[in-house]
Chains A and B, each alone.
Chain A
Amino acid sequence: NAGVTQTPKFQVLKTGQSMTLQCAQDMNHEYMSWYRQDPGMGLRLIHYSVGAGITDQGEVPNGYNVSRSTTEDFPLRLLSAAPSQTSVYFCASSGTTSGRRNEQYFGPGTRLTVT
């Protein structure tokens, strides 16, 4: 299993540009999430999904959209990038196998810079 994969690893955008961060998992997990990591703030939840076709907002959803058309994929879209969205983005997934319900598996991250 590849686990959780994210592309790209690095991205530089200009203010106002749009882009999609890709996330895929091959563990047949129901739950997928997007976090952003900023210095001194830990990870903050942007959006999450409890299954295909179901998404919900996390702590910091403004400026981001998500969709979940398949179990495997959970892309994050930035509609109009702003410098405040400069961050490292992590995708995570988790399943409901007994005893492992809360254990989230993280991708390697995407480092985004908005100029």
Chain B
Amino acid sequence: AQSVTQLDSHVSVSEGTPVLLRCNYSSSYSPSLFWYVQHPNKGLQLLLKYTSAATLVKGINGFEAEFKKSETSFHLTKPSAHMSDAAEYFCVVSGAPSGGYNKLIFGAGTRLAVHP
């Protein structure tokens, strides 16, 4: 079975400092992994995804994530936080395909606060 654990429910950083949102996963086979962002009262937007190509994945808005199989981790980073990065972030793993459809399994989310 697949599962996702986001290690921090809340992260607070100052504008201009690095961001690190941590995610560990469990999967019985080679997974696809995603990070989605949700701004207040909005839907979810895909930030980036890993699908067994390069282990360092670059996404939108300066975010990137590194897939580390030995550590079963997929942490999200950004060198310099911006006020507009304040949102909730979800780490997601794709489950086993069923009828061609890959169910997504969501972590509980990490709320990122950015202070001036």
Q: Which residues of A contact B (CB under 8 A)?
A: 30-31, 33, 35, 40-45, 48, 50, 54, 56, 58, 90, 94, 96, 99, 101-109
Contacts and interface: CB of A to CB of B under 8 A. Distances in A.
A30 B99 CA distance: 11
**Secondary structure at chain B's binding surface: helix, strand, loop or mixed?**
strand
B108 A106 contact: no
A58 B59 CA distance: 29
Contact of B43 (A41, A102, A107): A107
A106 B101 contact: no
12 contacts: A33-B104, A41-B108, A42-B108, A50-B99, A50-B101, A90-B44, A94-B101, A102-B49, A102-B94, A106-B36, A106-B45, A109-B42
Interface string B9-29: 100000000000000000000
Contact of B101 (A41, A48, A90, A108): A48
B100 A58 contact: no
